[in-house]
Chains A and B, each alone.
Chain A
């Protein structure tokens, strides 16, 4: 099983550009999450989804958008990139809350210059 796959692994954006971070899981998990990790900080929740067609904001949603048209895919869209969005982004999934931990992707390192 591939688990949770994130693309791209690295990206440099210019201020004001847009991009989509891709996340796909092959475990038929209903719950999916996007986190960002800034240097020396813990992971902060951006958006999450409890199933296809259902999304909700996390702790730090400003500047981002998500969609969930299928169970497998949960893309994160950055509009008008800002230097404050320089971070490492992790996608995660779980079959149901309380199960034995999220499965995380390997992350996307984004730099906005």
Chain B
């Protein structure tokens, strides 16, 4: 049972445009959501997070939006840069389960120069 889903395995955008990566979850107990970025042959690196008490969190070019009623979150990257090309993982956790992370399957973003 995939509790965190990233339905788009890949996304290609032009440099300078907006990249929107989507994530859906099924477990209503999740109360903390994170995005990780992963380059080949490296471990994932933390990008941005959002608590369920918020609906938006911004950090520079990266913004995460949370729609609790739809159990949906998205990561916006504006403007996209070639160095953003990587695999992006959505993850979620719940205090009730000890804050262990459940990951989605990832979306590979390619930013074209």
Name A residues whose Cβ lies closer than 8 Å to a Cβ of B: 4, 33, 35, 40-45, 48, 50, 58, 90, 92, 97-98, 100-107
Contact = CB atoms under 8 A, between A and B. Distances in A.
- Give the interface size bracket for B toward A: 20 to 34
Contact of B41 (A40, A104, A106): A106
B105 A41 contact: yes
Interface string B93-113: 101001111111110000000
B100 A42 contact: no
Contacts of A41: 105
Contact of A97 (B4, B36, B98, B105): B98
B43 A104 contact: yes
A41 to B, nearest CB: 6
A107 B41 CA distance: 7
B49 interface: yes
A97 B99 contact: yes
Given A97-B93, A101-B46, A48 B103 contact: no
Contacts of A35: 103
Contact of A42 (B46, B98, B99, B105): B105
B42 A102 contact: no
A42 B49 contact: no
Contact of A90 (B34, B44, B47, B98): B44
A12 B32 CA distance: 37
B36 A101 contact: yes
B67 interface: no
